[in-house]
């Protein structure tokens, strides 16, 4: 059991450059004596386990209070929806499960809805992890266990039996192990450049009808990117952002603060990126509520345009401390901005990252005083606050969600695809040979992950029930938070 991880990626084995691939593989295999692969199935509630409602209440103190009911309503929908918003709950639990100490740059919030597709600079649909708000170096098992649990819950939600839903976690874990074995034979550069083309991946899906529907949907959604996803209006002859109250609205009192934050982002960009950004100017800003776990953090979209009306949409999103932070120690120098942590993790894990990734901050002097409670509402979120952000191009939500969409039709194929992508993301930072050596070529590791996923899915349903009852009693109202 682990109370606090303090090793760097790969630190459970000697530095990659010190040993051959075969020696590192043998080191990983030897770790089976210290942490049996069957032990990965273990889950037991600690006597002093912190109440999930208490964890969510404490987290809510650092969110925009008026949006907490939105967050909780989204989490109340189902146990899987609860899991999505309760990364902090699962982080405390994972910290007390058996782990080898083989570290990777972890997603930190690895569930099936945080995988998706986006267009590469060449316009090709790439499939990858697409959420990094909680990223930090952590044991590789943590991401695998969270992904497995999400597959079990999602499977049961679609009507699968517990046994068939558990097989989804098993398929994912077997694919993860097989992909680690494949990647362990490659050079570090080959691993770094490896990526998953969604079109090719879909072509290998087992069900021909599902495959045809996904291919048609993918083509339509790639085309939608050229129309800015319905966010941009051009009724007045100049592009502007569309409001969709109450979750997509203008905040006039905070616009200057957001514009200052965008300006700091632009000023921090390398000369070659700044050369491109200088061809655009910021024309419009709008606040937007996103996600499930992210609800309550400050998020805005900036519309940048040229004099000819050419549009670039950038998102500025608040970055808070990772839910993994209390349980691991980052090997990196301290990040002075949580946005830099998110961007660094994304660049490490993704095969093709957004060229516009960056970080910035707000300043307490940027916005006028508009409320006595800085976090009471979106309009007051930047009042007297020094918030930290990361910046990226606006994701095509419909393209990003294509994974979740076709998961409903081909969940088994999707489980294997997620396992493959997660292994490749972990292999970029972790000791791929040592991880492959620990997992081996049999079913022992997959059986362990399947057992844990099933057990923790039951725990999540218990926590969800407790959460919904707390909501009914008013224990998670903004006032209580």
Per residue of the chain (481 residues), what is the pLDDT tens digit? 444 444 444 444 555 668 999 999 999 999 999 999 999 999 999 999 999 999 999 998 888 888 888 899 999 999 999 999 999 999 999 999 999 999 999 999 999 989 887 777 776 778 899 899 999 999 999 999 999 999 999 999 988 999 999 999 999 999 999 999 999 999 999 999 998 877 777 777 777 777 777 777 776 766 655 555 567 776 566 787 888 877 788 877 788 888 999 999 998 899 999 999 999 999 999 988 777 778 778 899 999 999 888 889 999 999 999 999 999 876 667 788 999 999 999 999 998 888 899 999 987 666 543 333 445 556 555 555 678 999 998 876 555 556 556 656 678 888 999 999 999 999 999 999 999 999 999 999 999 999 999 999 999 999 999 999 999 998 887 544 4
- Same domain membership, residue 320 and residue 198: no
201 and 59 part of one domain: yes
- Tell me, yes or no, whether 92 and 211 share the same domain: yes
Note whether residue 351 is domain-resident.
yes
Domain boundary pick from 396, 429, 464:
396
User: Crossing angle of helices 444-472/87-94, nearest 10°?
Assistant: 130
**Nearest-5° angle of CA 202, CA 207, CA 209?**
90
Q: Which residues have C-beta within 8 Å of that of residue 410, sequence separation ≥ 6?
A: 205, 206, 207, 210, 211, 214
Within a domain: residue 478?
no
Residue 84, helix vs strand vs coil: helix
* Residue at which a domain ends, from 339, 369, 396: 396
Cβ atoms of residues 383 and 370 within 8 Å: yes
Question: Is residue 479, in this structure, part of any structural domain at all?
Answer: no
* Torsion angle of C-alpha atoms 361, 364, 369, 371, degrees rounded to 10: 70
Q: Is 322 exposed, middle or buried (0-12, 13-18, 19+ CB in 10 A)?
A: buried
In a domain, 10, yes or no: no
In a domain, 208, yes or no: yes
In a domain, 7, yes or no: no
| Domain boundary pick from 396, 412, 438 | 396
22 and 161 in one domain? yes
Domain that holds residue 280: 229-396
Tell whether 213 and 234 lie within a shared domain. Answer: no
User: Strand pairing partners for 138?
Assistant: 104
Predicted model pTM: 0.90
Could you tell me if 50 and 123 lie in one domain? Answer: yes
Q: Are residues 136 and 157 in the same domain?
A: yes
Taking Cα atoms as reference points, which of 345, 325, 415 lies closest to residue 95? 325
Sequence-distant (6+) residues with CB within 8 A of 356 are 273, 314, 391, 392, 393
Assign 3-class secondary structure to 219-251.
Answer: HHHHHHHHHHHHCEECCCCCCEECCECCCEECC
Q: Same domain, yes or no, for 363 and 415? A: no
Number of domains in the chain: 2
How far apart, in whole angstroms, are the C-alpha atoms of residue 422 and residue 143?
8
Q: What is the DSSP string of 257-302?
A: HHHHHHHHHHHHS-HHHHHHHTT-EEEEEEEE--SSTTBTB-EEEE
Report whether 449 contacts 148 (CB < 8 A). yes
Same domain, 354 and 442: no
| 257 shares its domain with 217 | no
3-state secondary structure of 116: strand
Same domain, 153 and 251: no
Q: In this structure, are 256 and 346 located in the same domain?
A: yes
Collapsed DSSP state (helix, strand, coil) of residue 126: strand
């Amino acid at each position: 059991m682990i109370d606090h991880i303090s090793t760097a990626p790969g630190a459970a084995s000697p530095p990659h450059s010190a040993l051959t691939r075969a020696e590192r593989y043998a080191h990983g295999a030897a770790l089976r004596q210290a942490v049996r692969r069957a032990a990965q199935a273990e889950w037991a509630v600690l006597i002093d386990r912190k109440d999930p409602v208490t964890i969510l209440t404490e987290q809510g103190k650092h969110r925009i209070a008026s949006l907490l009911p939105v967050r909780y309503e989204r989490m109340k929908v189902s146990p899987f929806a609860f899991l999505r918003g309760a990364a902090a709950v699962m982080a405390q639990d994972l910290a007390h499960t058996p782990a080898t100490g083989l570290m990777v740059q972890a997603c930190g919030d690895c569930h099936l809805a945080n995988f998706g597709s986006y267009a590469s600079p060449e316009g090709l649909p790439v499939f990858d992890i697409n959420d990094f708000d909680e990223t930090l170096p952590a044991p590789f098992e943590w991401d695998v266990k969270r992904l497995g649990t999400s597959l079990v819950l999602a499977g049961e939600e679609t009507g699968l039996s517990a046994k068939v839903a558990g097989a989804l976690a098993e398929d994912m874990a077997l694919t993860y192990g097989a992909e680690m074995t494949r990647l362990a034979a490659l050079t570090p550069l080959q691993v770094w450049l490896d990526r998953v083309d969604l079109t090719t991946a879909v072509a290998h899906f087992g069900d021909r009808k599902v495959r045809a529907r996904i291919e048609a949907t993918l083509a339509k959604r790639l085309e939608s990117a050229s129309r800015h996803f319905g966010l941009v209006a051009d009724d007045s002859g100049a592009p502007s952002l569309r409001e969709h109250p109450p979750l997509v609205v203008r905040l006039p009192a905070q616009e200057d603060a957001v514009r200052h934050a965008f300006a700091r982002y632009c000023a921090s960009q390398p000369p070659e990126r700044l050369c491109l950004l200088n061809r655009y100017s910021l024309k419009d800003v709008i606040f937007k509520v996103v996600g499930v776990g992210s609800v309550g953090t400050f998020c805005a979209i900036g519309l940048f345009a040229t004099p000819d009306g050419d549009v670039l949409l950038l998102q500025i999103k608040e970055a808070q401390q990772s839910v993994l932070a209390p349980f691991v120690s980052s090997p990196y120098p301290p990040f002075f901005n949580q946005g830099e942590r998110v961007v660094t993790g994304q660049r490490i894990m993704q095969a093709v990252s957004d060229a516009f990734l960056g970080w910035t901050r707000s300043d307490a002097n940027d916005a006028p005083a508009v409320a006595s409670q800085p976090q009471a509402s979106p309009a007051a979120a930047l009042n007297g606050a020094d918030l930290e952000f990361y910046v990226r191009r606006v994701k095509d939500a419909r393209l990003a969600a294509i994974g979740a969409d076709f998961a409903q039709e081909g969940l088994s194929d999707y489980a294997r695809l997620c396992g493959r992508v997660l292994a490749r993301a972990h292999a970029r930072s972790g000791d791929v040979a040592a991880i492959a050596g620990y997992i081996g070529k049999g079913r022992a590791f997959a059986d362990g992950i399947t057992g844990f996923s099933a057990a923790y899915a039951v725990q999540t349903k218990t926590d969800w029930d407790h959460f919904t009852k707390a909501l009914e009693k008013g224990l998670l109202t903004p006032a209580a938070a």
